Amino acid sequence: MLINLSNHPSTRWSAEQMQAARAFGSVTDYPFPNVSPKWVEEDIRNEASRIATDILDTFPHDNLTIHLMGEFTLTYALLQRFHAHGIQCIASTTERIVKDLPDGKKEVLFQFVQFRRYEHA
């Protein structure tokens, strides 16, 4: 099973990303929370503990993989907790395609390339 713990629901993934995700089993979305820039380290620890506990209590650990993408400090705190339970976590990699528009703005598209495993420390 793949838990998609990110701000990007799997219903909006490309066909290529869904195909790669299915190699891990069924896909379940678990929204990554909005993290206030005013949060202090204790807030991050508390939120990481809440999310990790909820996921670990809800889903069987056998063959569980977590697609973990979001605000860096909370992602790191979650990664530590999941790795402590022997749960594999992955990140999605993308090709960033930038178009300069005539009005000076930029259009940015992200094209999925692969999932990459987070290494254990």
Task: Give the tens place of pLDDT for each residue, 22-48.
Answer: 999 999 999 999 999 999 999 999 999
8 assigned to some structural domain: yes
Read off the tokens for 121: 């420390």
Residue 121 within any structural domain of the chain: no
Q: Rounded distance, CA 60 to CA 25, Å?
A: 13
Q: What CATH number is given to the structural domain containing 46?
A: 3.40.50
- Name the band, by pLDDT with cuts 50, 70 and 90, for residue 121: low
Burial status of residue 12 (CB atoms within 10 A of its CB: 0-12, 13-18, 19 or more): exposed
**7 within a domain of the structure (yes/no):** yes
Q: Is residue 107 part of a domain?
A: no
Range(s) of the domain holding residue 48 = 2-92
Give the chain's domain count: 1
Q: 74 lies in a domain?
A: yes
Q: Is residue 114 part of a domain?
A: no
For residue 120, what pLDDT band results from cuts at 50, 70 and 90? confident
Q: How far apart are CA 107 and CA 9, in angstroms?
A: 21
In a domain, 110, yes or no: no
Backbone angles phi, psi at 86, to 5 degrees: 75, 20
Report pLDDT for 15. Answer: 94
Three-class SS of residue 78?
A: helix
**Considering the domain boundaries, does residue 14 fall inside one?**
yes
At 96 the pLDDT is 85
Q: Which residues of 100-120 are buried (b: 16+ CB within 10 A; e: fewer)?
A: eeeeeeeeeeeebeebeebee
